[in-house]
């Protein structure tokens, strides 16, 4: 196997690109894909401070690494979900990563904001853990960014994540989710910051290879609640398709973004208002996060009484 660029010995074969690369040329390919994503969707400039949401996993740390290498003004944000050893270990990886590069990292504990960690939220709400967790993460990323003057939050979602989300939304014809699925979501309200996914052009295999070649120490274990999540079933299904027909995932996601998504886009801004409790953007009088926090604090308070 020869590198497509230099003809030297290749270390990685990318079937969907019908190409193989040596280590330095793969890293260059990876950075180019990130540059292309940022340029094409005008995600951010070198003058803007960027808040990078990091979980301690390969994708978000690979993203932070590329953005630092590319000279962006980044700050990491680690949301401590309070999920047993998984949170302890993943926080340690983020702190070590930041310390090694002299990069600023903010840590926010979900328990301080909602009233309890994710495993307790799950018990109180009797809903799948990812439901309260996802809601809290989206809310807190936006809140922290607003409070600290970041115009944009970057997350490590890769091509596989995005294709799996798309499949889930299509299977249930969730029109709102389809309208919101994009590599870059603009700030449609003064209290919303831009949300961008600079890794959306890169597969999970590619981000893993990047993290490995850059010697990034990331947490390999998945969140214990990820097991059994439907998004994993969707990922497996797409990977089988990819196996049979390399490029299938890419065509599914990019075909949607380029040809189908415009049909789902609607003007959302008209329905947005500010939560009467916390002031963040919502569609009703009190936002879903404040309602969740009320429910959790009531239940935790009753348990203590
Ligand atoms: S952290 Fe939270 Fe994920 Fe764990 S509980 Fe679900 S949403 S799986 S990315
Ligand atoms: Zn609120």
Q: Which atom of ligand 1 is nearest to the CA of 223?
A: 4
The 10s digit of each residue's pLDDT in 176-196 is 899 999 999 999 899 999 999
Ligand closest to Cα of 90 equals: 1
Interval between CA 286 and ligand 1 midpoint (Å)? 24
| Predicted TM-score (pTM) of this structure | 0.94
Ligand closest to Cα of 134 equals: 1
How many Å from the N-terminal Cα to the C-terminal Cα in the chain? 67
Q: Whose CA is nearest to atom 7 of ligand 1?
A: 130
Q: Which atom of ligand 1 is nearest to the CA of 224?
A: 4
Contact between 283 and 272 (Cβ < 8 Å): yes
The 10s digit of each residue's pLDDT in 285-305 is 999 999 999 999 999 987 765
Give the closest residue to 288 by CA, choosing from 127, 130, 139: 139
| Interior/surface letters 87-108, b for 16+ CB within 10 angstroms, e for the rest | beebbebbeebbeeeebebeeb
Residue 73, classed as helix, strand or coil, is strand
DSSP 8-state class, residue 9: B
- What is the mean pLDDT of the segment spanning 119-123? 95
Ligand closest to Cα of 87 equals: 1
Q: Give the residue, out of 130, 162, 164, 224, with the most ligand 1 atoms within 8 A of its beta carbon, to mutate for a pocket test.
A: 130
User: Does the structure show a pLDDT above 70 at 269?
Assistant: no
Residue corresponding to tokens 């439901």: 131
Residue 32, classed as helix, strand or coil, is helix
Q: Give the residue, out of 80, 223, 234, 235, with the most ligand 1 atoms within 8 A of its beta carbon, to mutate for a pocket test.
A: 223
> What lines the ligand 1 site, CB under 6 Å?
81, 118, 129-130, 133-134, 223, 225-226, 229
User: Does the structure show a pLDDT above 90 at 230?
Assistant: no
Q: Whose CA is nearest to atom 6 of ligand 1?
A: 130
User: Residue 229: its pLDDT value, please?
Assistant: 81
The 10s digit of each residue's pLDDT in 13-55 is 998 888 999 999 999 999 999 999 999 999 999 999 999 999 9
User: Residue 149: its pLDDT value, please?
Assistant: 98
The secondary structure of 271-293 as a DSSP string is G-EE-TTT--EESSSS-HHHHHH
User: Residue 305: its pLDDT value, please?
Assistant: 55
Q: What is the mean pLDDT of the chain?
A: 94
What's the angle, vertex CA 269, arms to CA 265 and CA 276, rounded to 5?
140
Q: Give the residue, out of 225, 227, 230, with the most ligand 1 atoms within 8 A of its beta carbon, to mutate for a pocket test.
A: 225
pLDDT band (50, 70, 90) for residue 109:
very high
Tokens representing 61?
A: 């740390």
User: Does the structure show a pLDDT above 60 at 61?
Assistant: yes
Q: Whose CA is nearest to atom 8 of ligand 1?
A: 226
């Amino acid at each position: 196997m020869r590198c497509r660029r230099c003809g030297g010995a290749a270390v990685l074969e990318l079937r969907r690109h019908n190409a193989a690369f040596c280590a330095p040329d793969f890293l260059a390919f990876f950075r180019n894909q990130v540059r292309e994503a940022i340029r094409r969707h005008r995600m951010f400039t070198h003058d803007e401070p960027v808040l990078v949401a990091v979980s301690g996993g390969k994708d978000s740390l690979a993203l932070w690494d590329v953005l630092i290498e590319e000279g962006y003004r980044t700050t990491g944000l680690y949301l401590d979900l309070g999920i047993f050893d998984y949170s302890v270990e993943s926080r340690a990886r983020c702190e070590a990563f930041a310390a090694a590069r002299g990069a600023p990292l903010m840590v926010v504990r979900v328990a301080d904001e909602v009233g309890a960690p994710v495993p307790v939220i799950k018990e109180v709400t009797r809903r799948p853990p990812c439901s309260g967790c996802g809601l809290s993460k989206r809310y807190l990323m936006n809140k922290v960014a607003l409070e600290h003057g970041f115009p944009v939050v970057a997350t490590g979602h890769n091509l596989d994540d995005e294709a799996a989300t798309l499949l889930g939304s299509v299977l249930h014809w969730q029109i709102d989710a389809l309208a919101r699925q994009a590599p870059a979501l603009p700030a449609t309200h003064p209290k919303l910051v831009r949300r961008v996914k600079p890794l959306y052009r890169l597969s999970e295999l590619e981000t893993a290879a990047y993290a490995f070649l850059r010697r990034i120490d990331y947490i390999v274990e998945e969140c214990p609640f990820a097991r059994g999540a439907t998004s994993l079933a969707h990922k497996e299904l797409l990977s089988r398709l990819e196996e049979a027909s390399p490029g299938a995932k890419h065509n599914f996601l990019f075909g949607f973004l380029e040809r189908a998504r415009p049909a789902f886009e609607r003007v959302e801004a008209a329905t947005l208002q500010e939560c009467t409790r916390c002031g963040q953007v919502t569609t009703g009088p009190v936002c879903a996060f404040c309602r969740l926090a009320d429910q959790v604090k009531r239940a935790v308070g009753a348990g203590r009484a």
